[in-house]
Amino acid sequence: MTKKIIDITSISHTFADGYKGINNISLSIYKGEFIILAGKNGSGKTTFLRHLNGLLLPDSGQLFVNGNDVKKHLVQTRRAIGMVFQDTDTQIVGDTVFDEVAFGLENLKLSRTKINDKVTKVLKNLNLFHLKNRAPFTLSGGEKRKLTIAGILVMDPQVIVFDEPFSNLDYPGTIQVLTTIIDLNRSGHTIIIATHDVETVIYEATRIIIMEDGHIKEDGVPFDIVRLLESYGVKEPSTSKFGLGIQPWRK
């Protein structure tokens, strides 16, 4: 049986202004899954994702990562669950590509030799090594997104969470990032992607979760869910609409 990584029981979160971000969510996430978290704007996707990384803590309910309570094991949680944010510019802190990837490892207090080795390995794996001395803000959108993935990957996470990974990317940039995400999933990482544009990734997904008003409305395999997407304000892939089923987005 596949290993359970995340176990969530009835978590809710209410913001200071009284707005309920997520409400009574329960689910389990297993190793190797490729999950799409879909829903229209304001459905609670980002709030939910931030709970997985311990950036937000639930007001009620429990969230366990590898059997550890997130509230009590924040560092272990953040090592296990890497998060790639929507806006790449505001999450890049290093002034070269190399420094940016090294940031997380410096936080974990690894030795300088180990940091250099791990960063070099990840940059080579993601085909970013030739850019190691470049200033991140001079990179293209796709390269920047790959850099943020490298910054997470170097910390050896089991799960990588993406918040709208294809926003503001052109076609080559989207292909670049999609290919990286698929490769990560094939190498054993669990992937969770929050998006309202499911067409790009639905072919690769093993599971779709649909959120609305902070609740989980649907949770199942893409084949069963795809026709329900539009009733929750999410665009159904064109191929499915025209009766061609779920087709790969990239050639």
Partner 1 sequence: MAQITPFTYRQGESILHLLDPRCKFFMICLVSMSLLSAHLLACFFYGVILFFFFKNAGLNIFSTLNHIKYFIVLLFFIFAARALTVKGDIIFSFYELTITGQGLKEGTLVTLKFFLVMVTGILFACTTKSSGVKNAVQWFLRPIPFIPEKRVAVMISLSLSFMPIILNQAKEISEAQKARCADLQKNPVKKIIRLVLPLLKKIFLSADNLVLAMESRCYSDDRTEPEFLPSGREIYFIGASIILSLGLAWF
Among 17, 67, 133, 171, binds partner 1 (CB under 8 A): 133
13 binds partner 1 (CB under 8 A): no
CA angle, residues 199, 187, 67, in degrees to nearest 5? 95
What DSSP letter does each residue of 3-47 carry, written as one string?
PEEEEEEEEEEE-TTS-EEEEEEEEEEETT-EEEEE--TTSSHHH
The token duo for 37 is 């978290």
Among 10, 60, 117, 137, binds partner 1 (CB under 8 A): 137
Q: Find the helix or strand (DSSP H, E) in which 59 lies.
A: none
Rg (CA), the chain: 18
Spatial distance between the Cα atoms of 57 and 31, rounded to a whole number of angstroms? 23
- Per CB under 8 A, the segment of 50-58, 210-218, 224-232, 235-243 that binds partner 1 is 50-58
Restricting to residues 84-123, name those near partner 1 by CB under 8 A. 85, 87, 89-91, 93-96, 99, 103-112, 115
First to last CA, the chain: 33
170 binds partner 1 (CB under 8 A): no
Q: How many residues bind partner 1 (CB under 8 A)?
A: 37
Using DSSP, state whether 147 is helix, strand or coil.
Answer: helix
- Per CB under 8 A, the segment of 11-19, 37-45, 63-71, 82-90 that binds partner 1 is 82-90
Comparison of 46 and 240: residue with beta carbon closer to partner 1: 46
Comparison of 76 and 206: residue with beta carbon closer to partner 1: 76
Question: 68-69 and 60-65: which strand pairing?
Answer: antiparallel
In whole angstroms, the minimum distance from the beta carbon of 102 to partner 1 comes to 8
55 binds partner 1 (CB under 8 A): yes
Comparison of 122 and 229: residue with beta carbon closer to partner 1: 122
The token duo for 182 is 């698929």
Comparison of 110 and 175: residue with beta carbon closer to partner 1: 110
73 binds partner 1 (CB under 8 A): no
Burial state string for 147-163 with b = 16 or more CB within 10 A and e = fewer than 16: bbbbbbbbbebbbbbbb
Spatial distance between the Cα atoms of 225 and 63, rounded to a whole number of angstroms? 26
Residues that bind partner 1 (CB under 8 A): 50, 53, 55, 75, 78-79, 82-83, 85, 87, 89-91, 93-96, 99, 103-112, 115, 133-135, 137-138, 151-152, 155
